[in-house]
Amino acid sequence: MTVTLADVAARARVSPATVSRVLNGNYPVAASTRERVLRAVDELDYVLNGPASSLAAATSDLVGILVNDIADPFFGIMAGAAQTEISGQEGSGRAGGEKLAVVCNTGGSPERELTYLTLLQRQRAAAVVLTGGALEDPDHIAAMAAKLAKLADAGTRVVLCGRPPLPGSEAVVAALAFDNRGGGRRLTEHLLALGHRRIGYVAGPPERTTTRHRLESHRAALAAAGIDEDQSHVTVHGPYARRSGYDATLELLRRDPDLTAIVAANDTVALGACAALRDQGLRIPEDISVAGFDDLPFSVDAVPALTTVRLPLHEAGARAGRLAMGNEAPPPGGIATIGAELMARASTAPPRKG
């Protein structure tokens, strides 16, 4: 049965006029009321349709790019490259103009991610690009699969960028997945080849695919080198943030003062790790080596220059934008693995002797 605006109003316990105001954004509405209406829209999967809605008829040139944190260069680089490809297609819009690419900042919230997808669905988005690792929660995965299927059924092209394929969903045009496992393995093998055996690991949030893939490959490389003892005591999880790297490094040094190297979840975390080591009077890499991941623009300019794993973020974002616009053929099977390259620099060296 078709869900009506009146159904949404009844669920949100407001008048139909208030629902209309929230959806059209043409009149101030209290934040609590707006959230209640949007929650009802999401729960009922209400979508504006028909010629009576000028909004639905006017927004087919909209493209949504979902990011966890636009201030993080990892997401900013991908989103910027995708947006250039999307809105730079002259004459591609329905009215003869460019597509309107809108960046949606979820803050890492799964609820906000679903809300943005509902809003994009309701506004008849031409395409959606989801960037970054996925949340490994069965309920969220099921909800995402259902939501993306509805978007695809309505004609929205869905592209994943830097995110592995979503289980249970055939709605995705293409998934561009970074080789986090291969990159993580090569990074740890680099440290092992230098002679390191006591390596601390500052990991990202445990519920993210990116975190798991990088950490599992690190431990697999250690095990392959004969270092098979439990690594949990030299692993600390936290957000992908500089402060997390700083605090986690202090904790790792407390747990094992004899560490000779630290691998960080990403380059931003690695900067925090370097700061903590300097504050403890330790030299990099003479006393302890540090490595990151992603090869963000500042990595080569850090002092010392940061050993890391390069992910082609700009190239991946641009490709996602072309796929979203139908200007590039999807990869075979709809899935492409994007390679990761070890960038060995001055922040890693053989461990100190004695």
- Tell me how far apart the alpha carbons of residues 80 and 318 are, in angstroms, rounded to a whole number: 8
Q: Are 273 and 203 in contact (CB under 8 A)?
A: no
Domain boundaries defined on the chain? 1-46, 180-311
pLDDT confidence of residue 1: 60
pTM of the model: 0.83
Q: What does the pLDDT read at residue 170?
A: 75
SS (H, E, C) 71-129: CCHHHHHHHHHHHHHHHCCCCCCCCCCCCEEEEEECCCCHHHHHHHHHHHHHCCCCEEE
**Beta carbons of 125 and 101 less than 8 angstroms apart:** no
- Please give the pLDDT value at position 35: 82
User: What superfamily does domain 1-46 belong to in CATH?
Assistant: lambda repressor-like DNA-binding domains (1.10.260.40)
Q: Could you read off the pLDDT tens digit of each residue along the chain, which spans 354 residues?
A: 678 888 889 999 999 888 888 877 657 788 888 888 888 887 887 766 543 443 443 346 899 999 999 999 999 999 999 999 998 754 444 444 578 899 999 999 999 999 999 999 888 899 999 999 999 999 999 999 999 998 998 889 999 999 988 776 678 999 999 999 999 999 999 999 999 999 999 999 999 999 999 999 999 999 999 998 999 999 999 999 999 999 999 999 999 999 999 999 999 999 999 999 999 999 999 999 999 999 999 999 999 999 999 999 999 999 999 999 999 999 999 999 999 999 999 999 999 875
**Alpha carbon distance 139, 119 (integer Å):** 20
> Is CATH 3.40.50.2300 the right assignment for the domain spanning 180-311?
yes
Q: Do domains 1-46 and 180-311 have the same CATH topology?
A: no
Cβ–Cβ < 8 Å for 177, 162: yes
Q: What is the pLDDT of residue 57?
A: 38
314 near 78, Cβ under 8 Å? yes
Ramachandran angles phi, psi of 236, nearest 5°: -130, 130
Cβ-Cβ contacts under 8 Å for 8 (sequence gap 6 or more): 19, 37, 40, 41, 44, 46
Residue 178: predicted pLDDT: 97
- Name residue 177's beta-bridge partners: 337
69 φ/ψ angles, rounded to the nearest 5 degrees: -155, 105
Residue 293 and residue 313 in contact, taking contact as beta carbons nearer than 8 Å: no
